[in-house]
Every structure is written in structure tokens, then in C-alpha cells.
Amino acid sequence: MPSALTIAADALQRGRTHAYGPHRDQRCELRLPAGRGPNLRTDAGHPVVAVIHGGYWQTTFSKIVMRPVCADLGRRGWATWNIEYRRLGARSGGGWPMTFDDVAAAIDMLADLDAPLDLSRLIVLGHSAGGHLALWAAGRSRIAAGMPGADPRVSPVAAIAQAPVANLERGTFLTRPGGVGRALIGGGPDEVPERYAAANPWRMLPLPVPALLVHGKEDETVTIEQSRDYCAANVAAGGRSELVVPLDTGHRVQIDPRSRAWTAVTDGIDALLAEALRAPDPV
């Protein structure tokens, strides 16, 4: 397990920045494995994890918080694509549809990069609000034509969601007047139902790729029932998902490479990819 000093040093290594749009928040960081750990590269290139940070879809947090886990994935032989996107706030200008347009465009840009990446081994990973966006991005093939994110050029073969907001219509902090969910979507489910159909992972089941959800019982920010109910509903609909519940795990510790929650991710990522590559998509 890396030391705190190693994590801090690696996190400072930002990787190469790529712009997928003119706004200052339309940026991603590409990091390739340093070659000191396992070599997962094939003739097609390195396997890739597209990483999406959380923070209630607001400007309080940025892609910086995911640099430590990107560094850890790099030590394990994975390339990482750390996504920034427009978020709620006057300076960023996110919300509907910009946040969704950005995540979709950032993932689709992988097809245009001049880098040794194997997109047949692409996994999308997100934490909290980023977990919502990871599940959403993995289900883009189910979005109706003309809606944000529809017709993906690049599709992940699996998804990892850490303490995700898996249902935008559950929880008063999302749905009440002035709630962050309403702010993100631009109204409530009764006002703009077509947006929720295209933005809420709960309404996009079954997920067309396998998913690993990691959620702690001690999470007081996003309740574990979000993940439990999503997994159950996805499986009932014919999807493939697994929920891992690390002991005594809160919310932000999920993105600490020294935590049990992160160990659940690294223990499961190879098996998840293997399942994705051998199993057919749900009908």
C-alpha cells in the first residue's frame, strides 16, 4: 500500500492536459502507466479508466481530488482519463444539459487521442455525483436520440460507482425545492420528466454493461440504499451489477487509495473487466 508521501507526490503529477471544448472546465488529464508496476498493455494499447469526480455537481470540488486514485491505477498498469466538466455555479455554467454534454464529449474524445489506449478495455469510474455520471455514461446507448449523451462514439465496457447518487429522484436533498438535483436538471420529475428519463440512471435500466458499486454503511452523505436499490433493480431488469460494502466506510474515504473502500475497487477491477469482455449485453 502506498505511503501518504508517495500518494502526495504522485498526485502532483497531473498528466497531460487535453481540451475537449473552449471552456476552462472542459479539460481532461491523461496519465499513462509509468512502467514500474504490472504491464497490462497489449498490441492494442493500455486499458483505460475514465475517472469522474464528485462534489454535488458543484464547483467546490474539481478533478484534482481524483489524482491520487489515478496515480494508484497507474501503478497498477491502467491509463487514466481524469475528466473535468462544467458544474453548477455562475463561473462554471453547468447543469442541464451542459454537465451531461461535457461528460459525453470528454469520453468520446478518447477516440481521437494519439495515445496507446485500448478502448475495448475502457472502464468508467466515478465517486458520489461522479458515480451518478459514471452510471449515466455507461448507459448512454439507452438515451433517446436528440437528448444529451445520445449516440455515443465511445462506450465503456464496465462501470464502477463509488457511493453514487444512483437515483436523482430519491432523497429530499435532491428533490426538494432548491435541492441540488432540481438545480442540476432544471426542475423536478413532474416538471421535466423527459430530462429525468435521459439523466437518471434509475430510469435507464438495465445497464448495458456490468457494474461494481462500492458503498459504506457509515456513509452519511449519500445513503447506502441508493446503491442497494439500484443494484437490485438492475439485476431484476436483467442487468449485471454487484454491491460491495466495506466495513466502517464513510463517504470521502472512498477516494483515499489507502482505504478499504479503494481496495474493494482494485480487488474487483480485473474481474469486472473480464466479465465485461466475456458476457453479452442485456437485451
Q: What is the CATH number of the domain that holds 18?
A: 3.40.50.1820
**Cα–Cα distance, 109 to 118 (Å, whole number):** 14
Q: Is there a domain that residue 80 lies in? A: yes
**CA dihedral angle for residue 59, residue 155, residue 198, residue 66, rounded to 10 degrees:** -20
Whole-angstrom distance, CA of residue 86 vs CA of residue 134: 15
Whether residue 16 is contained in a domain is answered as yes
Alpha helices in 61-216 (DSSP H): 67-75, 98-108, 129-138, 172-175, 180-185, 193-199
Domain span at residue 247? 4-278
Is residue 283 included in any domain, yes or no? no
Angle at 242 between CA 251 and CA 109, to 5 degrees: 75
- The pTM of the full predicted model, rounded to 2 decimals, is 0.93
Let me know if residue 261 belongs to a domain: yes
Note whether residue 218 is domain-resident. Answer: yes
Read off the pLDDT of residues 137-195 as tens digits, 9 standing for 90 and up.
999 999 999 999 999 999 999 999 999 999 999 877 787 888 899 999 999 999 999 99
**pLDDT per residue as tens digits for the range 240-272:** 999 999 987 889 999 999 999 999 999 999 999
Handedness of CA 181, 185, 187, 188 (dihedral sign): negative
Count of domains observed in the chain: 1
Has residue 173 been placed in a domain? yes
**Pairing of β 27-31 and β 241-244:** unpaired
